Amino acid sequence: MANNLFDDSEKEQPSGKIATIAFDSGVDNVFDYLLPDKLGDVLPGQRLEVPFGRANKTTQGFCIAIKPAEQANKKHKLKFVKKIIDAAPLLDERLLAFGKWLSDFYVCPLGQVLSAMLPAAVKKGTGEKQVKHICLADRQEHNLKSKKQLQIIDALKAANAFDADSAIELNGLLQSLNIGTTVANKLVQAGIAKFTSQTFLRELPVVPAGMLLKTDKVILNAEQKTALDEIIKKIEAEKFSVALLHGVTDSGKTEVYIRAIEKTLEKGKSAIVLLPEIALTAQTVQRFNCRFKNIAVMHCQLTASQRNAQWQKIKTTSPLVVIGARSAIFAPVANLGIIVVDEEHESSYKQDTVPRYNGRDAAIKLAQMTDAICVLGSATPSLETLYNCKTKKHFSYLSLPNRVMNLPKPEMKIIDMAAEKFAKGVNLISEELQTALKQTLENKQQAILMLNRRGFSNFIFCPSCRYTLKCRNCDVALTFHKSEKLQKTIEIKDRIKGGFAMCHYCLSQTLVPHKCPMCGKAVTMFGLGSQRLEDELMAKLPNARIVRVDSDSMQKHDYYKLLADFDAGKIDILFGTQILAKGLHFPNVTLVGIISADSSLQIPDFRANERTYQLICQVAGRAGRSSKGGRVFIQTFLPNQPAIKFAVQNDFEGFVKEELKHRKLCLLPPFGRLAIVRMRDTNFDRLTAGSQTIAEQLTNLIGSLGLDIKLTGPMPSTISRIQRFYRMQIILQTANPANLAPLFDSFRRLKPSNSYIQTQIDVDPINLL
């Protein structure tokens, strides 16, 4: 390009300093640039504009360190930084260090992590307004004839407005003096006064007006007091520690969080409260809002300028309480004292795009880095957290076993679908559930039906002798998976074509017989669809007002309106996915039905049992939230399945014990740490070969570094093709979590063996599909 004939950089005066820069373009490296003298001081955490690559494309990056020029990487001739973008660092030292940890632990380029830590609205400055100010140019006296000009000068003198920092907002001043802009312009033209500009951001209310609820301060019960006392001891100690607060819904956990936060604020420190996005309703936010003076909210329903305003508020207010979804863990609070992670077991804390972090685990790390307290709350804690409480010295276990208001526990009932004598055709609703629905409607009460449609495959089952196809190595039911490849290539006598059965624990696969090996009758695969349920409900309850809720198709706004309608009694039966299981409070709901408890068991994931238990427990919490009581019907073909059996008996401990047995045998979390390397390519053969190379590279590194890591694969992912991309995966398992970091540290430095294959690394994966 002609412009490059005269290289500008030759003319720059170097300042003797170098900025190290991380880019969010996906390059997994950082780069050094010379700082020109004319730019003045640059600080880590500011964004800079630099020429990047051979074409010197103008690119933005984060300054992550400043060092003397002598420490430069001498191999390359360094280029000059062009421009400073942010007046002040967007990320302070604490957040930069946190970002570095995330980048290392979750194997993600540092620049991408830093970029993800900032809301887009903050990076763009959405909603910021430049407001014109005025101050005097100097302290000289001026002999002026214009009375109006003198008036302005007097006002500026009175306000001590002699520089940009003390400047007065122009419009306000002119209005109060009843003077027009031309007068001020003349003063500036004469060099007597100066205009300056200040950035302003309107604070926008994030809590809907008219929703200000008042709560009387409750008196904690003995259990809450014991738990709170323990947490307060930790707050007083001002050392890193984690407390698990294990308590059923309505046991008063939130009340304990609030008190712990009050104590933290008294010490001048701030709090971050993480909630699953779906639980961030106006009610929840409002509950915190009416207990704390300074609160900021970060979630996806805010507008861009609201988000920027909230972020700026966090940066400038201390101490304060930040409430938000997963990414609120990146809030720029100055002096962090406590982090609360409610519903810590929720899989939605894991982000499934880069950086693939888990908000809960990141919270624990951040608490450790800042000597803060982390409180994890759940009615059904994750096995990982329970295990940490047993084995790690910083963790402690606190429990709230009872509901605060002595409401009767809902009555739980298993319906064995295999024993149902159905009329012709397929039936998803048992006779008993149908009768209960009718009664509920007659009593002018409401029902919620849950159909977990996420299950995409069927389990294999003999309807006559109830034999279920099981894994050879583990005591678990196998799941049927459709496979395009098998459809085309393999045809084996007596075996079901087009798919295979798979074990969610050891991942072994087998073909499926047409006939039951026990009784010789034909096997069945059980599956269901929500459309079918809708038709059936309409046919069986023709007068009921029924609405289907679908988290995918329904807009947020419609969802809230729907919930309001349901609350107002305009709908009799609400049915839909898991979204209905969470945090809804409808006193008139006395019946809850889980159409198929089996469908969440079918997901090919070793956490399927754990999720099923959690789900039943959560859904059950929706029934009987008033003195009217409640009934929960759980339909299943597997009434003796441990997750279902224990959930109905409310025996969490029993469930955990049973589940841990399987996990231990297969070195799965919490006993082992997992990482998945996923590879995809549109060309199947290229993918197969490339995946093999990657597996070999990893195997070699494991060997040369002497790490105790088990590598399985490459093998096709459970869903072997998505959007025309074939998918393969390599699973890494280790008993010692410290093993993964050195492996990936070396692996990410290798040159990619094949530029067609897209590789992603998922550490502590939640989604195994």
The binding site for ligand ADP (CB under 6 A) comprises: 218-221, 224, 247, 249-255, 404-405
Shortest approach of ligand ADP to residue 585 CB, angstroms?
Answer: 9
226 binds, among Zn ion, ligand ADP, none (CB under 5 to 8 A by kind): none
Residues near 428 by beta carbon (within 8 Å), at least 6 away in sequence: 451, 528, 532, 533, 536, 595, 596, 635
Shortest approach of ligand ADP to residue 197 CB, angstroms?
Answer: 47
218 binds, among Zn ion, ligand ADP, none (CB under 5 to 8 A by kind): ligand ADP
Shortest approach of ligand ADP to residue 378 CB, angstroms?
Answer: 10
Compute CA 596 distance to the chain's CA centroid, rounded to the nearest angstrom: 27
Determine if the peptide bond prior to 319 is cis (ω within 30°).
yes
Spatial distance between the Cα atoms of 363 and 352, rounded to a whole number of angstroms: 17
362 binds, among Zn ion, ligand ADP, none (CB under 5 to 8 A by kind): none
Size of residue set near Zn ion by CB under 5 A: 6
Stretch that binds Zn ion, among 101-109, 209-217, 257-265, 471-479 (CB under 5 A): 471-479
* Residue 311 in the binding site for Zn ion (CB under 5 A): no
471 binds, among Zn ion, ligand ADP, none (CB under 5 to 8 A by kind): Zn ion
The residue (of 216 and 685) whose beta carbon lies closer to ligand ADP is 216
Shortest approach of ligand ADP to residue 580 CB, angstroms?
Answer: 17
Spatial distance between the Cα atoms of 17 and 94, rounded to a whole number of angstroms: 22
* Residue 473 in the binding site for Zn ion (CB under 5 A): yes
* Residue 471 in the binding site for Zn ion (CB under 5 A): yes
The residue (of 621 and 765) whose beta carbon lies closer to ligand ADP is 621
* Residue 320 in the binding site for Zn ion (CB under 5 A): no
The residue (of 380 and 479) whose beta carbon lies closer to Zn ion is 479
Which letter does DSSP use for residue 601 in this model? T
Shortest approach of ligand ADP to residue 271 CB, angstroms?
Answer: 16
**Tokens (6 digits) for 754:** 């094949």
In terms of phi and psi (left: phi > 0; alpha: psi -120 to 50; beta: otherwise), the region of 178 is: left
| DSSP H or E run through 271 | strand 270-274
- Ranges of beta strands (E only) in 626-747 are 631-636, 673-681, 710-722, 725-734
249 binds, among ligand ADP, Zn ion, none (CB under 5 to 8 A by kind): ligand ADP
* Residue 547 in the binding site for Zn ion (CB under 5 A): no
- List % helix, strand, coil for the chain (3-state, nearest 5): 35, 25, 40
Q: Which long-range contacts (CB under 8 A, 24 or more apart) does 658-667 make?
A: 659/383, 659/609, 659/610, 660/383, 660/387, 662/474, 662/475, 662/476, 662/505, 662/606, 663/383, 663/606, 665/474, 665/505, 666/474, 666/505, 666/506, 666/606, 667/710, 667/733, 667/734, 667/735
Residues near 58 by beta carbon (within 8 Å), at least 6 away in sequence: 49, 50, 51, 52, 82
Stretch that binds Zn ion, among 64-72, 324-332, 346-354, 473-481 (CB under 5 A): 473-481
Q: In a 3-state reduction of DSSP, which class is residue 371?
A: coil
* Residue 664 in the binding site for Zn ion (CB under 5 A): no
The residue (of 231 and 471) whose beta carbon lies closer to Zn ion is 471
Shortest approach of ligand ADP to residue 320 CB, angstroms?
Answer: 21
Q: φ and ψ at 72, to 5 degrees?
A: -65, 150
Q: In a 3-state reduction of DSSP, which class is residue 284?
A: helix
The residue (of 274 and 503) whose beta carbon lies closer to Zn ion is 503
The residue (of 160 and 473) whose beta carbon lies closer to Zn ion is 473
Shortest approach of ligand ADP to residue 216 CB, angstroms?
Answer: 9
Shortest approach of ligand ADP to residue 557 CB, angstroms?
Answer: 26
- The contact pattern for Zn ion, residues 484-523, with x = CB under 5 A and - = no contact, is -------------------x-xx-----------------
Shortest approach of ligand ADP to residue 673 CB, angstroms?
Answer: 30
250 binds, among Zn ion, ligand ADP, none (CB under 5 to 8 A by kind): ligand ADP
The residue (of 247 and 624) whose beta carbon lies closer to ligand ADP is 247
506 binds, among Zn ion, ligand ADP, none (CB under 5 to 8 A by kind): Zn ion
Tell me which amino acid residue 82 is: K
The residue (of 379 and 477) whose beta carbon lies closer to ligand ADP is 379
Residue (of 251, 383, 379) closest to 662 by Cα position: 383
Tell me which amino acid residue 425 is: G
- Ranges of beta strands (E only) in 342-382 are 373-378
327 binds, among ligand ADP, Zn ion, none (CB under 5 to 8 A by kind): none
The residue (of 111 and 381) whose beta carbon lies closer to ligand ADP is 381
159 binds, among Zn ion, ligand ADP, none (CB under 5 to 8 A by kind): none
The residue (of 144 and 474) whose beta carbon lies closer to Zn ion is 474
CB half-sphere exposure, 547, CA atoms < 13 A: 18
221 binds, among ligand ADP, Zn ion, none (CB under 5 to 8 A by kind): ligand ADP
Spatial distance between the Cα atoms of 600 and 622, rounded to a whole number of angstroms: 18
505 binds, among Zn ion, ligand ADP, none (CB under 5 to 8 A by kind): Zn ion
Q: In a 3-state reduction of DSSP, which class is residue 650?
A: coil
Shortest approach of Zn ion to residue 503 CB, angstroms?
Answer: 3
CB atoms near residue 29 (< 10 Å): 11
The residue (of 504 and 582) whose beta carbon lies closer to Zn ion is 504
Shortest approach of ligand ADP to residue 255 CB, angstroms?
Answer: 4
Residues near 299 by beta carbon (within 8 Å), at least 6 away in sequence: 277, 280, 324, 325, 328
Shortest approach of ligand ADP to residue 376 CB, angstroms?
Answer: 13
Stretch that binds Zn ion, among 45-53, 468-476, 481-489, 525-533 (CB under 5 A): 468-476
Residues near 200 by beta carbon (within 8 Å), at least 6 away in sequence: 128, 129, 130, 131
Written as one string, the DSSP assignment of 61-80 is: EEEEEEEEGGGS-TTSPPPB
Shortest approach of ligand ADP to residue 621 CB, angstroms?
Answer: 8
The residue (of 181 and 473) whose beta carbon lies closer to Zn ion is 473
Query: In Å, how far are 44, 96, 321, 726 from 335, measured between CA atoms?
Result: 19, 15, 11, 47
Shortest approach of ligand ADP to residue 312 CB, angstroms?
Answer: 30
Shortest approach of Zn ion to residue 505 CB, angstroms?
Answer: 4
Residue (of 314, 338, 213) closest to 266 by Cα position: 338
CB atoms near residue 158 (< 10 Å): 9
164 binds, among ligand ADP, Zn ion, none (CB under 5 to 8 A by kind): none
* Residue 474 in the binding site for Zn ion (CB under 5 A): yes
Query: By the criterion CB under 5 A, which residues form the site for Zn ion?
Result: 471, 473-474, 503, 505-506
